[in-house]
């Protein structure tokens, strides 16, 4: 099942749920509307075109084929790496909050984890 097929099924499921559930009107809840909006936005995005395919040949070697035509059914499409995002640092308040709880190596590890969380 492709991503778009899964999204279409999810959108159909949301439509099926609209109306009443246990006596409550689901249209009064924001979740179905937000979910529908997110799914429709995802479906509107163009499907990326693979820049190459990767497969394992009969000798067990990995082969890369630079083409947009899938050479074999089990070939895995490879896509361009998206542009990197701008670095997000920590706010002074976030650092201050950490320094009141952590110190030494624990503080460094917590800062490292928080930066990783914000930038991946």
pLDDT reading at 15 higher than 80 = no
pTM above 0.85, yes or no: no
For strand 24-25 and strand 76-78, is the pairing parallel, antiparallel, or unpaired?
A: unpaired
Domain ranges of the chain: 3-44, 48-82, 84-120
Long-range contacts of 17-22 (CB under 8 A, 24+ apart): none
pLDDT reading at 3 higher than 60 = yes
Q: What's the gap between Cα 44 and its chain centre? A: 16
Rank 20-34, 70-84, 100-114 by mean pLDDT and report only the highest: 100-114
């Amino acid at each position: 099942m492709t991503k778009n097929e899964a999204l279409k099924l999810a959108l159909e499921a949301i439509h099926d749920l609209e109306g009443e559930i246990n006596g409550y009107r689901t249209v009064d809840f924001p979740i179905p509307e937000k979910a529908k909006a997110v799914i429709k936005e995802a479906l509107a995005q163009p499907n990326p075109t693979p820049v190459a395919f990767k497969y394992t040949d009969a000798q067990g070697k990995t082969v890369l084929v630079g083409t947009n035509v899938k050479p074999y059914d089990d070939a895995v499409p490879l896509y361009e790496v998206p542009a990197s995002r701008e670095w997000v640092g920590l706010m002074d308040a976030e650092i201050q909050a950490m320094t009141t709880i952590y110190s030494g190596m624990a503080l460094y590890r917590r800062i490292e984890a928080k930066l990783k969380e914000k930038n991946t």
